[in-house]
Amino acid sequence: MRIRTTRYGEEELLEIPDLQSFEFSIGIGGFEDEHHYALVIEADSPIEWLQSVNTPSVGFPLLEPFLFYPEYGFELRDADADALGLRAPEDALIRCVLTLHDDPEATTANLVAPIVLNRRTRKGRQVILQGTSLSMRYPVFESLRLTAEA
Amino acid sequence: MLILTRKANQAVVIDGTTTVRVLSIDGDRVKLGIEAPVEISVVRDELLREVADENQQAARTAGRPALQDSLRSLGRAAGRSERTP
């Protein structure tokens, strides 16, 4: 599958294996009309992108939360698990959306609304955790370093 | 938009499955009791907006070449070496 992305400014054409495309029956908050995303994996970087297949300018940088917040966890509602067709935990990919800045140390991650992908059914959704003390703007830079060293 | 007036302890039923009841009214605070099937997601509107705003911020901050350096630094922080250009 070929997709277009402007995640670094210039438009690029990427070839993405179909296995890395995901259907979001409920669009991501603020982007309700986008229902089809590809997971773009960067060579030699832990950052991935959730790139809209239809809109090159809509892409979200993602990071696996366990890289910077090893104790991260939440209970996935049955309704979300059902909607994703998720039966086995090992089929789930959990990612947090990053908000980037020119200063890498200012990078934050949204721990309240993780992206859950089912690699078996290739469905995805952004779940919203309620009643949590987790941060929507959790600073990741220092934590990434400390977790990598640990 | 449907607009209804309800008093304390009165309710509306949505789609035969979801009941929204006014439990109490205290000045400008209204306490609602919601009974809904598990597959119905009930979320405070502000939280949805906050998530949407943060998503928009995340998508907006992408798309600038300067970020590639920022991402490399993050990669280094994660303890993975990046390929030299």
pLDDT digits (tens, 9 = 90+) for A51-76: 999 999 999 999 999 999 999 999 99
Give the residue with greater pLDDT, A103 vs A36: A36
Which pTM does this prediction carry? 0.88
Decide if A136 contacts A113 (C-beta within 8 A). Answer: yes
Task: Point out the residue among A49, A100, A142 whose CB comes nearest to the CB of B61.
Answer: A100
Q: Do B52 and A112 touch (CB under 8 A)?
A: no
Q: Are strands B11-14 and B18-26 parallel, antiparallel or unpaired?
A: antiparallel
Q: Do B51 and A107 touch (CB under 8 A)?
A: no
Q: Are strands A48-52 and A92-99 parallel, antiparallel or unpaired?
A: unpaired
Q: Do A144 and B83 touch (CB under 8 A)?
A: no
Chain B CB contacts of A46 below 8 Å: 74-75, 78, 80
A interface mutation test: which of B48, B51, B68 has the most A CBs within 10 A?
Answer: B51
Q: What is the mean pLDDT of chain B?
A: 86
Beta bridge partners of A23: A36, A123
Nearest chain A residue to B67 by CA distance is A102
Q: Do A29 and B72 touch (CB under 8 A)?
A: no
* Residue B85 in contact with partner chain A when CB distance is under 8 A: no
Amino acid at A86: L
Decide if B58 contacts A50 (C-beta within 8 A). Answer: no
Chain B CB contacts of A8 below 8 Å: 62-65, 67-68
Instruction: Work out the minimum CA distance from A41 to partner chain B, whole angstroms.
Output: 13
**Backbone φ, ψ for residue A124 (5° rounding):** -140, 160
pLDDT value at residue B65: 65
pLDDT value at residue B84: 40
Quick one: pLDDT band at residue B73, thresholds 50, 70, 90? confident
Nearest chain A residue to B72 by CA distance is A45
* Residue B33 in contact with partner chain A when CB distance is under 8 A: no
Q: How far apart are CA A130 and CA A13, in angstroms?
A: 38
- pLDDT by residue (tens digit) across A79-131? 999 999 999 999 999 999 999 888 888 899 999 999 999 999 999 999 999 98
Count of other CB atoms within 10 angstroms of residue A52: 25
CA-nearest of A136, A5, A41 to B58 is A136
